[in-house]
Copies of this chain bind each other. A is one copy, B any other.
């Protein structure tokens, strides 16, 4: 049996966050000691690790909820889950492209700076460029 602190340490999740996940129904209510402290099973640890991993990959708690549902009743089709992951991958790739542009611009600015003359800053230009982003307007939140 694990205390909430043990769970916290082993998953890198704040204690409060674990309680929050319980509150919103993402984690099951665990058993309690006589004195009222939470005690978890290893399966809870797995579930929490799953959730955190999903968050690290950028999935919303809602999406993770769907993953967990599928995992709880594995007879359903997983195509929906798959499409969520696909969408996430598209976003990740778009972000990388933009980051590369931004990296180049920052490097250029820093180089110019060393040269000592007055600089022009194109940071805004590289990221305000609309040409390659017609498809992802709705992609800030995830689904």
A29 interface hit (Cβ, 8 Å) = no
The reply to whether B92 and A102 form a contact with Cβ atoms under 8 Å apart is yes
CA–CA, A11 to B71, complex, Å? Answer: 37
Instruction: Say how many copies of this protein the assembly contains.
Output: 2
Q: Which residues of B contact A84 (CB under 8 A)?
A: 123
Q: Which residues of B contact A107 (CB under 8 A)?
A: 89
A57 interface hit (Cβ, 8 Å) = yes
The reply to whether A110 and B86 form a contact with Cβ atoms under 8 Å apart is yes
Instruction: Name the one of B106, B125, B127 contacting A89, with C-beta atoms under 8 angstroms.
Output: B106
**Min C-beta distance of A63 to chain B, whole Å:** 10
Q: CB within 8 Å of B: which of A45-94?
A: 46-47, 49-50, 52-58, 67-68, 70-71, 73-79, 81-82, 84-86, 88-89, 91-94
Q: Which residues of B contact A114 (CB under 8 A)?
A: 82
The reply to whether B56 and A121 form a contact with Cβ atoms under 8 Å apart is no
Q: Which residues of A contact B (CB under 8 A)?
A: 10-12, 46-47, 49-50, 52-58, 67-68, 70-71, 73-79, 81-82, 84-86, 88-89, 91-96, 98-100, 102-103, 105-107, 109-110, 113-121, 123-125, 127-130, 133, 135-140
